[in-house]
Structure 1
């Protein structure tokens, strides 16, 4: 058995070493102290699950004393470990989004792989019920150290949602009986990890007509053809959400309109609502360019890999880099998200009403009449509005940049 006096006397070696706090009954797990070469002393609880050892960090000595570590170890021993892993939990959430037709499903899957599964291969194999706030903190800290800001909050939110789905599955008496996959969750470890609120401040940047004209001019010169035409399509369509547009397959691009499954709202009986966007000629021109590249690809704005769409993060980085190369031509920095606000603002100059602009951009209407009684699709109004917006763009943006 360890003592505080022994821990205090332990000296660091050239390599880290561990000291166990005695023996435990088979299968219960054990508390041990890890001494690192820099002198740091950390308490861990280790157990064997499905034939593999898993360990959870409890705290650092002397901030955490031996008595407190033993108490936490006792609590850990009482946890009934379910076999389903963190990777199973993330896959479970992604599958739920796919079954609902959520536009964000592919992006969520990509972010889990990019920021969790690949950099933390051992962690994702650990039972989900043994994942603690410190593990979530370490995932997000690595992202922040790599220069990721706002998207760090997105990953946090998605992990929180994945654990919530797991908790509901665990405690909902109906869903619990429908699956053999058990997570053994009792709480959501992400809840204790704060959102980085300063990265969530609402933006107010909107490009002027002159700035938008210059942007339109330099697009084909400094970005790939697919990226350039996608940004033109986003602008011409009145500022659709890029992540939803990119998640929309070619089969949803019909003769005179496209259909976007709107992840921001739900329609009748909980189904994801559909957002219909009529074409104007500028939108058709961009789609024709994409067809000349490939008219059989799964997504019109295809990515580098066969059968995939261009990723939103790649598009966002392209816009940011484009500004960096031409900073002297703009009134300040702007991002991909600012283009949606730009369209919303400039469509007002094209004499489109706020209600029509909201409908073109697919905003949800929360009043009782709109939610429960209004089943009109406003297709003709949106088509007329987007044609008026096209005429304004040709006069104030496209013609202006050609002068």
Structure 2
């Protein structure tokens, strides 16, 4: 009977493999059919070569030397052979065990660790990934108080309670945070961290309708006057949102070096990475817009020449819009009360509104009162030709319409000067 592999054989193979590049040195054990020992530059492992029940030949990993001795390797080979004879695949079973161990390890991670991984693997590829992370566990994030908790232990009821509290302060923000949280927990399910999304069935705390709200002329006057009470940065930002009906975050993140205020064609070049459509846009700057921007530049000088036109830190764009909106609403209410007192009538509170309604207001007045072409209004709002019903037009009508938008914004500023600004000053 053959004595098979010996310790001396194995040590000699390991010595020969050290510092040697190329194929590993493989030894066969004559006592245990199929048992192999492989020595490489940095490894020394046991395996079993065997034909599976499917007919394919496979190498089944058994363990490493010297943790697995010769006798232990032979025993492991016999056990692996027994499993194969039962129709099992030891390699597949080992992979399954490794996956289960990985899932168990992940499920023990704190929520903040999973959010960090989510940010690296998912949010880092999103244009608004930073904003989403803040909504999840930032200063006002929905899941902030759960950061140290095990993801697997977080329940539907506790998130629902947090959502209710958030909805009392900022209903629309609560809706957005719920959507972000659902996406995160769905990702946790796909990663095998949790079995099901705990908030999959949670409904939005407040219903949202298609944006139909637009302001009356009097409401615009009240907002314009109230914005003057807010001071820098939110006051001029609000007024600029009326004059230039862009998206809030596009104007809030405006960089000074994006502006050209002198010369024959004053304009703001909005880069593609900051637009919803991911398209660069030249925005003509007419006198009223330039006046607001110039005034804001003077205020920004106090912040050590920040790169941002609107900022409170000098290093980041302005934020804290929910709090600023509450201040603006308070100032609007105060102005309406003063007007009602002067006219000897009861005050009429303004119906709930959002900053985005200023865009709807522009579109409504521009098309209905100023007779601005709907396609031009679409371009000013940086929409994709939503005014046209033709899909072909939406695809092929890519013209920037700069001069047309310039003429339209001039009409809009003239209307604002006459109907809103002058009336607000003389009230």
TM-score when normalising by structure 2: 0.60
Closer/same/farther in 2, CA of residues 100 and 129 from structure 1, 3 Å limit: same
Q: Distance in 2 between matches of 1:139 and 1:368?
A: 43
Q: Distance in 2 between matches of 1:391 and 1:382?
A: 14
Structure 2 gaps of 5+ residues are: 1-100, 262-266, 340-347
Q: How does 1:2-401 map to 2 (within 5 A)?
A: 80-82=104-106, 84-92=109-117, 96-97=122-123, 99-102=125-128, 105-106=130-131, 108-109=133-134, 112-116=137-141, 120=145, 123-144=146-167, 147-166=169-188, 170=191, 184-198=193-207, 200-202=208-210, 204-220=212-228, 222-237=229-244, 239-255=245-261, 256-259=267-270, 261=272, 265-266=276-277, 272-294=278-300, 296-304=305-313, 306-328=315-337, 329=339, 332-337=350-355, 338-348=357-367, 349-365=369-385, 368-369=391-392, 372-401=395-424
User: Does the CA contact (< 8 Å) of 1:347 and 1:389 recur in 2?
Assistant: yes
* Structure 2 counterpart SS, 1:114: coil
Q: Distance in 1 between matches of 2:117 and 2:281?
A: 27
Structure 1 gaps of 5+ residues are: 1-76, 171-182, 267-271
Q: Distance in 2 between matches of 1:118 and 1:158?
A: 11
Shift of 1:194: 1.3
Closer/same/farther in 2, CA of residues 326 and 154 from structure 1, 3 Å limit: same
Question: RMSD in angstroms over aligned alpha carbons?
Answer: 3.5
* Structure 1 counterpart SS, 2:283: strand
Shift of 1:261: 4.7
User: Does the CA contact (< 8 Å) of 2:253 and 2:317 recur in 1?
Assistant: no
User: Does the CA contact (< 8 Å) of 2:134 and 2:140 recur in 1?
Assistant: no
User: Does the CA contact (< 8 Å) of 1:219 and 1:228 recur in 2?
Assistant: yes
* Structure 2 counterpart SS, 1:277: strand
1:56 alignment counterpart: none
- How big is each residue's C-alpha offset from its partner over 1:121-141, in whole Å with a ceiling of 9 and x where there is no partner? xx2133435444234223313
User: Does the CA contact (< 8 Å) of 2:110 and 2:147 recur in 1?
Assistant: yes
* Structure 2 counterpart SS, 1:191: coil
Q: Which has the higher contact order (CA 8 A, sep 6+)?
A: 1
Shift of 1:293: 1.9
Q: Distance in 2 between matches of 1:155 and 1:292?
A: 36
2:8 alignment counterpart: none
Give aligned pairs, total. 303
User: Does the CA contact (< 8 Å) of 2:270 and 2:280 recur in 1?
Assistant: yes
Q: Distance in 2 between matches of 1:94 and 1:393?
A: 44
Look at both structures and tell me which one has the larger radius of gyration over its CA atoms: 2
Shift of 1:370: 5.2
Closer/same/farther in 2, CA of residues 195 and 353 from structure 1, 3 Å limit: same
Shift of 1:275: 4.5
Shift of 1:374: 3.9
Shift of 1:155: 0.9
Closer/same/farther in 2, CA of residues 219 and 316 from structure 1, 3 Å limit: closer
